[in-house]
Homo-oligomer: A and B are copies of this chain.
Amino acid sequence: MARKIRLGAFLPGGGQHIASWRHPDQPVDGAVSFEFHKHLAQTAERGLFDAYFLADNLAVGFGGAREGGNDRVAGFEPTTLFSALAPFTTNLGFIATSSTTYEEPYLTARKFASLDLISGGRAGWNVVTTTGDSAAQNFNLDTQLPHASRYKRAAEHVDVVKALWDSFEDDAFVRDVQSGVFYDKAKLHETNHRGEHFQVRGPLNVPRSPQGHPVIVQAGQSEDGRDLAAATAEVIFTAHQHIETAQEFYRDIKTRARRLGRDPNHILVMPGVSPFVGRTLAEAQEKYERLTSLILEEDGVGLLNGLTGGTLDLKGYDLDGPLPVAPPTEGMKSRQALLRQIADENNFTIRQLYQWVASARGHYTIVGTPETIVDTLQEWFENEAADGFNILPPWLPTALDDFVDLVIPELQRRGLFRTEYEGTTLRENLGLPYPVNRWSVEQPVAQAAE
């Protein structure tokens, strides 16, 4: 079977673009409307997307922006929302973000296994370390832990979660009414983890879920982030402005994974793309200008500061002048560097920079027709820059409709994308192997293949 492009959909309900809530197509209460999220999920499924993705933070104010001007200030908690959406769809995956720094592995393992059960095998976990003091201050700390400590904790957290997901072997549940044997107690295993950060006995009180393990997703870009991704992730989100940096990242990740003995085909690299789609280039350009015109200055400036972890205080600077140099951050190092790069390359003023990143916050923005957009996606896909893409419609729902109705058919016409779902689980649709339970020693062949 020919390799196909994988597609995730970033559909925050509230806007992806900082001014999208001011766009007439987007419901102003989208961020807190269950019906709206249901419509988005069903549209993504109509487009045969692999998964619906939700970013997350554990504090008010994700994404910066002016106080009072941000429609993403408050919304649903991702795993409860996705649980509620799952029964209204049949094939779409649901990738929820959850923090390794502020959550406990037993609870992480449990909620994702539960979502996987509810959805019949369509759950994914976006593993994040959660940057920023504002989240730390909601969890008994004054400031966040250093970058390196967060990643050490993350690696251990993921290990424990995976062990807990193996608590019951696949065939542990006998449910024999006659004998009264409900499960085979020899197939229920304690985890007995005693590590630097966590001590967890197990077993987990959720059965092995349909996917065995929900799909592990990761989005760290630093050295530590790449190491964690190479060791554990099956899908990687990333942000690039150029095919060259995307290729560098792609090859680096695949090399790291191979070095760790993993099959590089089982770690899918998916850069973010924010598409403004028009039937003509002029129409696409018009859509871009329209949304850009809705950005308030204060919001643009706040966004840049937010994206760099609060290191870019632009008060007093001329917005039509150059971007000043920001001090180093313990937060999202990669995002800070990326903003610098975009500004330098394009010779952007502060205003032009915020206008450009307002739609996708560091991801690749494409303004084009279905043909030119697919040209780009195809080029990235066929030249070791991407295994698929995360689509960030700049506003909702109509920019998502544009992608589904105009771009997907073009992808299909070129044989680059599925015309129907391959399977019912997220793993099957992504072409990822089923993780053999660590306790099921009877299956050495399958285990070796993993």
Tell me how far the C-beta of A450 lies from the nearest C-beta in chain B, rounded to whole angstroms: 24
Task: Determine the distance from Cα of A117 to Cα of B34 in the docked complex, in whole angstroms.
Answer: 8
Within 8 Å of chain B (Cβ to Cβ): is A137?
Answer: yes
Within 8 Å of chain B (Cβ to Cβ): is A317?
Answer: no
Closest to A160 in B: B138
Name the one of B175, B202, B204, B206 contacting A29, with C-beta atoms under 8 angstroms: B175
Within 8 Å of chain B (Cβ to Cβ): is A271?
Answer: no
Within 8 Å of chain B (Cβ to Cβ): is A250?
Answer: no
Task: Determine the distance from Cα of A380 to Cα of B321 in the docked complex, in whole angstroms.
Answer: 77
Find residues 64-101 in chain A having any chain B CB closer than 8 Å to their own CB.
67-71, 73-77, 79-81, 83-84, 86-88
Contact with B along A186-218 (1 / 0, CB 8 A): 001000000000111111111100000000000
Task: Determine the distance from Cα of A38 to Cα of B118 in the docked complex, in whole angstroms.
Answer: 11
Task: Determine the distance from Cα of A137 to Cα of B198 in the docked complex, in whole angstroms.
Answer: 10
Q: Do B299 and A70 touch across chains, with their CB atoms under 8 A apart? A: no
Q: Which residues of B contact A113 (CB under 8 A)?
A: 77
Q: Do B118 and A84 touch across chains, with their CB atoms under 8 A apart? A: yes
Contact with B along A163-192 (1 / 0, CB 8 A): 000011000010101001111110010000
Within 8 Å of chain B (Cβ to Cβ): is A150?
Answer: no
Name the one of B29, B77, B141, B167 contacting A199, with C-beta atoms under 8 angstroms: B141
Contact with B along A266-301 (1 / 0, CB 8 A): 000000000000000000000000000000100100
Q: Do A198 and B140 touch across chains, with their CB atoms under 8 A apart? A: yes
Task: Determine the distance from Cα of A204 to Cα of B58 in the docked complex, in whole angstroms.
Answer: 8
Within 8 Å of chain B (Cβ to Cβ): is A103?
Answer: yes
Name the one of B181, B188, B200 contacting A140, with C-beta atoms under 8 angstroms: B200
Copies of this chain, tallied across the complex: 2
- Most chain B beta carbons < 10 A, residue from A73, A75, A181, A199: A73
Within 8 Å of chain B (Cβ to Cβ): is A134?
Answer: yes
Find residues 53-71 in chain A having any chain B CB closer than 8 Å to their own CB.
57-62, 67-71
Q: Do A139 and B182 touch across chains, with their CB atoms under 8 A apart? A: no
Tell me how far the C-beta of A60 lies from the nearest C-beta in chain B, rounded to whole angstroms: 5
Contact with B along A341-370 (1 / 0, CB 8 A): 000000000000000000000000000000
One of A2-10, A104-112, A256-264 contacting the partner: A104-112
- Most chain B beta carbons < 10 A, residue from A67, A68, A106, A138: A138
User: Given A34-B117, A84-B86, A138-B201, A177–B22 Cβ distance below 8 Å?
Assistant: yes
Q: Do A32 and B201 touch across chains, with their CB atoms under 8 A apart? A: no
Q: Do A118 and B168 touch across chains, with their CB atoms under 8 A apart? A: no
Name the one of B74, B80, B102, B138 contacting A83, with C-beta atoms under 8 angstroms: B80
Name the one of B111, B167, B181 contacting A77, with C-beta atoms under 8 angstroms: B111
Task: Determine the distance from Cα of A139 to Cα of B199 in the docked complex, in whole angstroms.
Answer: 7
Q: Do A111 and B80 touch across chains, with their CB atoms under 8 A apart? A: yes
Q: Which residues of B contact A61 (CB under 8 A)?
A: 205
Q: Do B83 and A81 touch across chains, with their CB atoms under 8 A apart? A: yes
Name the one of B59, B68, B75 contacting A182, with C-beta atoms under 8 angstroms: B68
Within 8 Å of chain B (Cβ to Cβ): is A392?
Answer: no
Q: Which residues of B contact A74 (CB under 8 A)?
A: 168, 183, 204-207
Tell me how far the C-beta of A71 lies from the nearest C-beta in chain B, rounded to whole angstroms: 5
Q: Which residues of B contact A29 (CB under 8 A)?
A: 173, 175
Tell me how far the C-beta of A81 lies from the nearest C-beta in chain B, rounded to whole angstroms: 7
CB<8 Å pairs between A and B, sample of 12? A28-B182, A38-B87, A58-B106, A59-B205, A60-B203, A75-B207, A80-B111, A80-B114, A81-B114, A84-B118, A104-B140, A106-B139
Q: Which residues of A contact B (CB under 8 A)?
A: 21-22, 28-29, 32, 34, 38, 57-62, 67-71, 73-77, 79-81, 83-84, 86-88, 102-104, 106-107, 110-111, 113-115, 117-118, 134, 137-141, 167-168, 173, 175, 177, 180-185, 188, 198-207, 296, 299
